[in-house]
Structure 1
Amino acid sequence: MKKVITSTQNPYIKELVQLKDKSRVRKKTQTFLIEGLREINLAIKGGYTIETILFDASIFTEKLVNQIENISGVEVIEISSEVYKKLALRDTTEGIIAVAKTKDLTLNELHLSTKNPLILVVEAPEKPGNIGALLRTSDAAGIDAVLIANPKTDMYNPNIIRSSVGCIFTTTIATGTSEEIISFLKQQNINIYGAALTASVEYQTIDYTQPSAIVVGTEATGLTSKWLENTTKNIIIPMRGAIDSMNVSVSAAIIIFEGVRQRQLKK
């Protein structure tokens, strides 16, 4: 018999609301919510384990649920529109939410698929929207990994999943301290190019066809001295207007795609 939940006061639904809202609950249970069919399919493709699927039958039919690949054995629960609105993050929704298991994103679990990687490193990102945009860019460019140094939010924050449009599931990601990531890059003989305003060369003058890590910091303060002391070279995007910087996701995209362009020319 199919399970149906219609009350927002249901204990399980209350647990899911906590899962949506609180990082500590996601870390404790090692689970998180995924909203949207595209995102769920990308998570499955990315090797994530789906535990439960909840759907609002007034928006998303059970027939469509049954067409999702690789969900055999997954519990499926029909929920009321009131319950769905309690769990959903978006104003425009698809009527489907999944509960999934998190992955271990520590640096120890990182396995690069090439000896000549192009990597993005982001130091101390705070805004989920920026992280999501950086992941979208990384997916679009097909780079080998995104390393998050000293993250200020957990990677399974629903706003990161939403703003990345599911690219969190398609991108190789690892987190660690700046010290751990610097040590990793040096052990792997990966050049470290830090985006900085001082002691810099123009970004397009660098050869990114060798193992390369492009490192960006926060928009407010840029990279910390820990990174600036360990870069192979500092790089800068020349500004033609009145300001001296851009949004971090835009800056990262410009440099990443220069690296991709160089690598394509070398093929």
Structure 2
Amino acid sequence: MIKEISSTQNPTIKILVALQDKARERRKSGEFLIEGVREINLALQAGFELTRILFCYAIANAEELQLLQSKLDKNVAQIAITEEVYKKIAYRSGTEGIVASAKAKQNQLTDLLLPKNPLILIAEAPEKPGNIGALLRTADAAGVDAFILANPRTDLYNPNIIRSSVGGVFTMQIATGETEEVLTFLKEKNISIYAAILQEAISYEKQDFTGSTAIVMGTEADGLSEEWRKQSTQNIIIPMQGKIDSMNVSVAASILIFEARRQRGFKE
């Protein structure tokens, strides 16, 4: 049965606006919003449990909406909304008139299913959602086996992460944890740690990444914490040719992770 909501003051709409705007509300409820047909389909493929789907008939493509509705569990609430209501809850302009709410996953390190010889990308304490989204796109493009956030400073289901990752937050195996937890996990799994850090480093071109590999990136402002320098298998650098001594973290990660992928051979 399809419910209809036409008021921006409706209690359900107020809840959804809070989920869109506030990390505290996402943590408290265990839910988050997904905007756009592609992203919702990717979430369904990844096994995320949808709780509601809201659609504006005046904006949504009827064929895409019908196809999406055919994939939904019967317990998912379906709500038709007006353009005014849609604009109230939409994070992006120009999307397809469809928004869903979903239950967040726990993203525990112990939930990761790794192959025998994994390739992992790790980011420590990234603050900017746009950078996290770009890192997820890189991880997806390179076909890494897992993406780990160490000491995260923003929640994984921030709407800007979902937007900037173009749904990559749903295509990757993702885990979060404190740095010490992540280090312990990697050592227990006998995964070599290659930290992108200046001290005691060699050029990434000289490093063999064909074994079990975790490439670790820090923030552009502060780099990696001391724990990574001390406990890494090898620190690596990207030699700089210009006068600026740093580059965007997602660009640097792309260089390193695709070198690892090149050494391992690209998947067909």
Q: Same fold (TM over 0.5)?
A: yes
**Is the aligned partner of 1:12 residue 2:18?**
no
Aligned to 1:29: 29
Partner-residue secondary structure (3-state), 1:134 = helix
Aligned to 1:96: 98
What TM-score does the superposition give when structure 1 sets the normalisation length?
0.96
The number of residues matched between the two structures is: 266
Aligned to 1:65: 65
Runs (4 or more) in structure 1 with deviation over 4 Å come to none
Aligned to 1:190: 191
Which letter does structure 1 place at the counterpart of 2:56? D
User: CA shift at 1:70, angstroms?
Assistant: 2.2
Which letter does structure 1 place at the counterpart of 2:233? T
CA contact (8 A) 2:122 2:217 kept: yes
Partner-residue secondary structure (3-state), 1:136 = helix
Partner-residue secondary structure (3-state), 2:265 = helix
Aligned to 1:84: 86
Aligned to 1:108: 110
User: CA shift at 1:170, angstroms?
Assistant: 0.3
User: CA shift at 1:3, angstroms?
Assistant: 1.1
CA contact (8 A) 2:37 2:64 kept: no
Q: Select between 192-201 and 176-185 the one with higher mean Cα deviation.
A: 192-201
Which letter does structure 2 place at the counterpart of 1:175? T
Alpha-carbon RMSD across the aligned residues, in angstroms, is 1.5
The alpha-carbon distance between structure 1 residues 264 and 85, as it changes in their structure 2 partners (threshold 3 A), is same
What TM-score does the superposition give when structure 2 sets the normalisation length?
0.96
Aligned to 2:255: 254
Aligned to 2:175: 174
Partner-residue secondary structure (3-state), 1:52 = strand
After superposition, the C-alpha distances for 1:2-61 in whole angstroms (9 at most, x for unaligned) are 311010000110011111111111111111100000000000111111111101111104
Partner-residue secondary structure (3-state), 2:170 = coil
Aligned to 1:136: 137
User: CA shift at 1:108, angstroms?
Assistant: 2.5
Which letter does structure 2 place at the counterpart of 1:93? T
Query: Distance between the aligned counterparts of 1:17 and 1:158, measured in 2?
Result: 11
Query: Distance between the aligned counterparts of 2:241 and 2:54, measured in 1?
Result: 50
Which letter does structure 2 place at the counterpart of 1:110? L
Query: Distance between the aligned counterparts of 2:190 and 2:126, measured in 1?
Result: 25
Which stretches in structure 1 are left out of the alignment for 5+ residues? none
Q: Select between 70-79 and 36-45 the one with higher mean Cα deviation.
A: 70-79
Query: Distance between the aligned counterparts of 2:210 and 2:38, measured in 1?
Result: 33
Query: Distance between the aligned counterparts of 1:223 and 1:88, measured in 2?
Result: 35
Which letter does structure 2 place at the counterpart of 1:75? A
User: CA shift at 1:94, angstroms?
Assistant: 1.1
Partner-residue secondary structure (3-state), 2:19 = helix
User: CA shift at 1:176, angstroms?
Assistant: 0.3
Task: Among all aligned residue pairs of Structure 1 and Structure 2, give the percentage whose two residues are the same amino acid.
Answer: 58
Aligned to 2:156: 155
Which letter does structure 2 place at the counterpart of 1:140? A
User: CA shift at 1:110, angstroms?
Assistant: 2.0
Which letter does structure 2 place at the counterpart of 1:217? G
Q: Select between 55-64 and 166-175 the one with higher mean Cα deviation.
A: 55-64
The alpha-carbon distance between structure 1 residues 61 and 91, as it changes in their structure 2 partners (threshold 3 A), is closer
Query: Distance between the aligned counterparts of 2:146 and 2:223, measured in 1?
Result: 21
User: CA shift at 1:266, angstroms?
Assistant: 11
Which letter does structure 2 place at the counterpart of 1:84? Y
Which letter does structure 1 place at the counterpart of 2:223? G
